[in-house]
Every structure is written in structure tokens, then in C-alpha cells.
Structure 1
Amino acid sequence: MLSIRATIPLTLLLLSGCVVGPDHKEPEIQLPVKFAEGGKASNGDVATVAWWNAFNDSRLNGYVSTGLAQNLTVLQAIERINQAQSQITVAGAGALPSLTGSGSHTISETKGSLATADRPVQNTSSGALDASWLLDLFGQYRRSKESASASLDAAYSTADVQRLTLISSVVSAYIDARYFQERLAIARANLKSRRETLDLTKLQLEAGAASRLDVVQSEGLVNSTLADMPGLETSFRQAAHRIATLLGMPASSLVLELQRGARQPVARKAPLTGIPADLIRNRPDIRVAERNLAAAVAQIGVAESRLYPSITISGSISPSLVNVANNGARGTSNSWSFGPSLVLPIFDGGSLRANVDIAKSSAREQYLAWKETVLNGIEEVENALAAVTRDKQTEDALRRTVRSYQEALSLATASYRDGASSLLDVLDAQRQVSTAQANLATAVQTTAQDYVRLSVALGGGYAVGGPTTSSNTVIAANTPKRR
């Protein structure tokens, strides 16, 4: 017979058991050394880089800060973190001993026409304590807890995705609002110029130097400008409504504030692109995919553990007290039980093996999803970088175009006043100036939006105003831990 000293280590060894299933390893993918139009230097951790400060707009900065604190989608993602934290406790609880208690008290009496039927009032009090412990010999619950921990990491990173999406949406909507305000300002300036031309044409008509056709054409251009303005105002208000909703406010809350106007946002500097490998650390959507893969790999172990026997140790104690009311008789009855039980899967029609195959296939699917997320991220950076590199060229060319057409309009107007050219020359020049100004405003908007797309594609800014957080599991690329 084994001594207690020998039995204890053997028991601990038995209880520690073995954990079946593969251990998660960081996924690998072959990446280029640099982006096609980027440098070779890493930009490190950009989670706390407030890239929108490059627009030098305090109102925009305030909107982003408010959105991070109040956006309802972000708050929902945080609640999912709380759920995932509790799910870890649920996943690991099955491997711990359980103890339940119960108690009852009943009063009974029986009466009838037969003498033997009568039974006096009887009080019965009883209780029970039941304990059980499923020995996690093959790591079913340990793998379940591992999977839940990975899912918690994914929940943290999903919240980061929502923060980054929120920042992108707020900044993009703000850029749109200022764009439509700029278009409205251009339309008002053009309207003033065209009304002046109309007044001049009417004077020319009275002097016999112009025809009724000239007046009608000039009036048509004025009315065409008036027709464009309501649509631009509607678009501005829709952008303002979008910002308010993103900030968790009623849609019309910010219209008056935004109507005060400001210049179109222009980024004062370009973001550092880093290298493709930086995305694995910096982009939260890639971390979500990697953590989902880790959770799926752990589920393989859960499925494999069900192929093996399970042992449960259980016991119970059930005391009871009986008190007969009419004669004062009292008595107790106590019972207890203790022992292990073994469950051994023998024939299940192949379902347990099929569950293992399903878990393995799910893990492979998650790896492919991770790989796809990485490649999509690289594509987004490459596309945005290519656009940002060329946007300024388009913008500069359009600025020169506006100056040329404005000079042409000034010359055509002066010539028309002197009677040396026709009204058609003036109207054409006005159309050209209007179109060039609108194109320039669109180019400024496009440049700003491409800057946003590049910054978001690089995965920066979601942790501004708060610590970067993650659960206990260390995830890919030395992601900062969060608590």
C-alpha cells in the first residue's frame, strides 16, 4: 500500500493531467520589406498618435475627443469586453469543485374514516450538501479558458477597431461639412459676380449696346447658381447631422455651431508610413483576427479532450429531523455518500471525431481570415499612399487653373464694359471660374480624405486619451498590455 507521502505527488500529477490539442503559435506571413512608395524605417507603435492634429483645427479635435467618450458603438464594444471577461470565469468554472446546499421543512397530517388512516401532524426538516469535482485530466476546461482568454483579447481589439472607425468617421464627416461650406461660399461669390454682370447687361440694354438675349442669358446663369445652393446646404446639414450622431447627440445639435464656418481642413504634414510588418502590431483588426485564430486553436483541444474518459468525484450529506406533534416523538435520519464516477466514450457514431475535424477546419479558416486581413491592410496602405503622393500635384495644378480663369474673367469683364467683347465671353469666363473653384474645393477635400484613409490604414490614434489595453494573454508583435 502506498504511503501518504507517495500518494500526494501521484495525485497531483493525476490532477494536473495532460492538455491535449495543439498550442497556439503566432501565425506567419511573407511581407515586403517596405511599401512601394514608403520608406524602410519602422514607425513603431502609433496607437497614441493623434494624426488628426495635423489639420490644426481645435473644433475637430474636440469632436474626436467627445466621440471617443460618448459614441454608442464604442460603448457597446466596451460592454462586449465585460461579457468576455465574465466568459473566462464561466469557461474555467467546470474544472473547479462545486458545492450546493439545500434545505426544506414540511408539515403533514393524514385523516380518514379508517382508524388506521389517521396520522398525527408531523414536522420534517431536512437538508443536503452535494459536492462534485470533474477532474480535468485532458485539459477540456483549461483549453476552454484559453479560448475565452483569446476571445477577451479579441473583444479588446474589437473595441479598438470601433474607436478607430469612430475617429475616421468623425474626421471624414467634418471634412465633408467644411467642403460643402466652401462650395456654398464659392456659389455665393459667383452669385454676386453674376448679378453684377446682369445689372451691367441691363444697363447696356437700356443704352442700346446689348440685346434682350444677353439679359436672358445672364439671368439664366444667376438662376442656375441659385438652383445649386439648396443642394449644397442640404449636403452640409447631412454631414453636420452625421457628426452629431457619431458623438451620441441628437442630429441637429451641431448645425448652428458648424454654420459659423471654418476653412477646409488641410493636413500640415504627411504621416510616417513605417513598414508592412508594423501593421501586425498597429492595426487592431489584424489583432482581432489573430486572437480569433488563437481561440479556434484552443477549441481543437476542447474537442479532442472529449475523446477521452472523464472522472467525476462526488459526495453528499443529507441529515433530516422528524417531529411528531401529538406525542412529542422526535428522531433523526442521516445519510451520506461519496465516490468517483467514470464516463468512457465507446460508440458515438463518429460525432466526437467529427467535432475535432470541425474545430481543425475552423482554425484553418481563421488563419486564412488573418492572412486576408493582413493583405487587405497592406493594400489599403498602398492605395492611400499612392493617392496622398499625387493629390498635392492635382491640388496645385487646380490652384493655378483658378488664378488663370479669374484673370481671364477680369479681362473679359473689362473688355465687355468697354464694348470690345460680347457678353458670351464674360459668361463663359464666369462658368470656367466657377467650375475651377469647385474642382479645387473637391481636390482639397480629396486630399484630406486620403490623408485620413492613410492614417486609419496604418492603424494609428485609437488609444489617444486612454491606455492601450489587452487581457492577460500576450498577443502578436508585442502589443502593449492593458488593464
Structure 2
Amino acid sequence: MMRQGLTVSALALALSACQAGHDFQPPKADAQVDWLPTQGEQAVSHPQASPIKERWWEVFNDPLLSSLIDRATAASLDLKIATTRLEQSRSARQVVAGDQLPSVSAGLGYQRARNSGEGLNDPSGNSGKSAFNLWDGGLDAFWEIDLWGRVKREVEAADATVAVAENDRRGVLLSVQAETARDYLQLRGVQDTLAVTRENIDVSRNSLALSKVRLNSGVATDLDVAEASAQVATVEARIPLLEQRQAQLVNALSLLLAQQPRTLQTELLHATERAPLPEAIPVGLPSELARRRPDIRQAEARMHLAAASVGVAEGDFYPRIVLSGNVGFQSLQLADFGSWGSRNFGIGPQLSLPIFEGGRLRGMLHLRQAQEQEAALNYQKTVLRAWQEIDDSMSLYKASQLQQHKLENAVQQNRIALGTAREQYKAGAVDFVSVLTVQRALLASQEQFVDSSTAQTLALVGLYRSLGGGF
């Protein structure tokens, strides 16, 4: 009895040693990099190593932005397409997993037939001289015994394919959220630029009116009036392109919400004041990055898929053992169908072993092994790219804030300079060229200030996108 137990244990050990492929070990995505910027001048709003909220866009404190992202998440066609792909992969996994269980089918048939008198035996006993009835029915079963783990690896590969599709959907969701935020914040930036431009149109028209008054008083020339008129036209020429860009961004948001062009025009054409960003911006922890970024998770799933596919290719070298059987009834007369004498059955194993495949199996194994190496390299590249995107986004966020602070001071000083230049022009101390020079400098600094403010918010969106959002 003990010898029999030892024999069974040895057989189980031998079979486990012949398992196809190797068990997948998730890689470590650790990187020795500075998570938070520490060098140089510090900005007012700065990243902080604390948990990221799932609704990360609420850091902008803009209810309309939150509403747009919620609606885009519910209506996005790209997200719905990714969801259907995920459902397809889950259904495919269910198909593959079915190979682990026996396949049982039932059948029932009737046939009116006549056999050849010169061929095979005629079951009717009439040597092919007359037709006969044949009633046939029963159950058939089929089951492949997965001794080497080939079917197990196929299911494992299907699970990895589902993980790829899941993280593809997560990536699409993050893209929809980030693109909605980007388009909305760019729209607000364009609207701020429009407000600055219209303000400068008023300033230019006031300068033109002043030049005409001085011309009528005999203390200015036609040149002053012409230069003032040209300045008005130059600033007014900025409006059409800004309005076109505004319409383009409204349409982009409409598309993200699966709406017709201009659907959101009434809702979005009224500019709102931006709320200040909080001093501390939560950006999570470095150890959480690989669990949060969809592309890293997807790259890991592709590694898992490649490793499992190697196991499937190795399993094709081993014998396949299939248990099959059937039980049923067969009779020439309906009255006899189902009787004890009409019973039939068959059961037994079938074994198949590849002997010569012309190198096909070995070529497939080498292909899967090369694909596994490629997946590992792609994973490494994805992680490095993630760290680069995060570092670039943090640097851009900090730089845009510092630039905005300097430009705010430049705008204030240019306003003072313009007022002084206009007073001096009224007094005849300077010519109109000085007024135009200061006015152009004010417009340029105002536009740069708006651009830096927009760049700051876009950099924050890019930062959260590079961090994988709030998953």
C-alpha cells in the first residue's frame, strides 16, 4: 500500500515537472527619481505626495468643468467602443475556459435508408433488397485531460487579454476626461484673450479720439491720426481668429459629449472667472504609479499574455489525451427504441502525439519567446516614458506659475507706463510713437499673462494624466 502511494506521488511530481511554460512574475516598476521638484524657486501651488482624488478635476473648483466631464464620461463614443472591446475579450475568455470542462451533447435522429446488397452489411437483414428505418439517440461526451497545463495556459492568456482590454478602456476613460478638461481650459484661455483684446481695442480707440482732438487743436499731425487708426485696425484684426478658435473648441467639446456641432455654444460662450488653484496639489506616491497608470498596467498584461502564450506553444509538443464516450439507443423499429436490447455505449481514451510538423511547432515556440522579450522591453520603455512625462509635467507646471507671476508684474508696470505716456502726449512732451510703443507692450504682456495662466492649468491636467488620474 505504501509502495502504491509512493508511485502515485512520484507520478504527480513527474507530471508537475512537465508543466508547459512558466508562471508569470509581475515586474517591479521602481525607479530612483525625485518625485517632487525641489530645486530652484518654489511656486505658490506645488505638488504634494498625498492620495489623488478619483475626481481629480475638482481641483480646478469649476462646476461647469465637472459637469462636462461627467457628461463626456457617460456619452463618449470612444469609451463605448472600448467597453464593447472589453465585453468581447470577456466572451472570448469564456469560450477558452470551456475547454477545461467536459463537453457533453445530446442527439436524436431518424433515418429512412436502404443499403447496397453488394456493399457493407445491411442492418435490416434484407441484403439491400428493401429500405429500413433507423432510430438513433444518446449522449456524447468529450474531455481533454490537461496533464501538461496547455489548456491552463490558454485560459491564462485569455485572462491577460481581458486585462489588456480593461486597461485599454481605463486609458480611453482617462483620455476622455483629460481631453475634456484641456479643451475647456483652452476655451477659457481664448475667451480671456478675447477680453484682453477687446479691452485694448477700447484703449486704441481712446488714443485715436485723443489724436483727432489734438489734430483739430493744431498740436498733432495727420501722421498721429493715421498711426492711431492703424493700431485700432491691427488690434481688431485679432478678433476673427480668436472667435474662430473659440467656436472650434466648443465643437471639440460637443464631439467629446457625442453632440452635434454648436450644441454647447449657448452654455460655453459666457466666460467665467477662474478660481485660484490650491497651494497643495496631491500627486500620489511613486510606489502607486505602476498600479494607477493604464499604459503600465496594460504593458504588464501584455507581458503576462506573452508568457502564457509561450506555455501554450510548449504544450503543443506534449501528447494530448482525450477521454470520449457515448451512451444511447439504436433500433430499426420505433417500438424497440429505448428498450434494454437497443442500448449501446462506448468509452475510451485517445492519445495523439506530434511526430513530424516540419518545424512548425518549434518555429511557433521561438516566435512566442521573441514576443515575450519584446513585451518585456516595451514594459521597460513604458515605465521610463511615464517617469519622463511626470517630470516634464511637474517642471512645466512650476515654470508656468513662475512665469505668470513675473508677467503679472509686467502687466501692472505697462499699465502705469501707458497712462504716463498718454499724459505726456497730451502735454506735448512725447510724440505718439511713444504711446503706441507702450500700448503694444501692454497688449503683448497681457496676452502672455493669459497664455501662461492657460499653460499652468493645462500643465496640471497633463500632470494628472501622466499620473494615471485618480484610479
Report the TM range for the smaller structure's normalisation: 0.7 to 0.9
The one-letter amino acid of 2:165's match is: A
CA distance in 2, matches of 1:193, 1:374: 52
Q: What secondary structure sits across from 1:313 in the alignment?
A: strand
Partner of 2:459: 450
Q: TM-score with structure 1 length normalisation? A: 0.84
Partner of 1:394: 403
CA distance in 1, matches of 2:26, 2:374: 15
- Within the candidate set 362, 374, 383, 2:371 is matched to 362
Partner of 1:74: 79
Identical positions, percent = 28
Q: What secondary structure sits across from 1:69 in the alignment?
A: helix
The one-letter amino acid of 2:59's match is: A
- Within the candidate set 105, 114, 132, 2:110 is matched to 105
Give 1:44 shift: 6.5
CA distance in 2, matches of 1:374, 1:90: 33
- Within the candidate set 154, 178, 197, 1:187 is matched to 197
Q: What secondary structure sits across from 2:281 in the alignment?
A: coil
Say if 1:392 and 1:251 are closer, same or farther in 2 by CA, change over 3 A: same
The one-letter amino acid of 2:432's match is: L
1:63 aligns with 2:57: no
CA distance in 2, matches of 1:420, 1:264: 41
CA distance in 1, matches of 2:314, 2:71: 48
The one-letter amino acid of 1:96's match is: L
Q: What secondary structure sits across from 1:349 in the alignment?
A: coil
Number of residues paired by the alignment? Answer: 449
1:135 aligns with 2:145: yes
1:249 aligns with 2:249: no
Q: Where do 1:161-176 residues align within 5 Å?
A: 161-176=171-186
Give 1:444 shift: 0.5
Q: What secondary structure sits across from 2:262 in the alignment?
A: helix
1:440 aligns with 2:445: no
Structure 1, 191-200 or 96-105: larger mean CA deviation: 96-105
Cα displacement string for residues 148-188 of structure 1 (whole angstroms, at most 9, x for unaligned residues): 11222222222221121111111111110001001111111
Partner of 2:394: 385
CA distance in 2, matches of 1:100, 1:214: 97
1:283 aligns with 2:293: yes
CA distance in 2, matches of 1:329, 1:22: 55
Say if 1:45 and 1:13 are closer, same or farther in 2 by CA, change over 3 A: farther
CA distance in 2, matches of 1:398, 1:449: 18
Give 1:104 shift: 3.1
Q: TM-score with structure 2 length normalisation? A: 0.86
1:21 aligns with 2:18: no
Say if 1:99 and 1:38 are closer, same or farther in 2 by CA, change over 3 A: farther
Q: Where do 1:139-218 residues align within 5 Å?
A: 139-218=149-228
CA distance in 1, matches of 2:54, 2:237: 43
CA distance in 2, matches of 1:336, 1:329: 17
The one-letter amino acid of 1:178's match is: R
Q: Where do 1:298-309 residues align within 5 Å?
A: 298-309=308-319
Partner of 1:86: 91
Q: What secondary structure sits across from 1:34 in the alignment?
A: coil
Q: What secondary structure sits across from 1:342 in the alignment?
A: strand
Q: What secondary structure sits across from 2:144 in the alignment?
A: strand
Partner of 2:122: none
Say if 1:77 and 1:105 are closer, same or farther in 2 by CA, change over 3 A: same
The one-letter amino acid of 1:344's match is: L
Structure 1: segments with no counterpart, 5+ residues: 111-115, 464-483
The one-letter amino acid of 1:387's match is: L
CA distance in 2, matches of 1:128, 1:288: 47
Give 1:236 shift: 1.0
1:32 aligns with 2:7: no
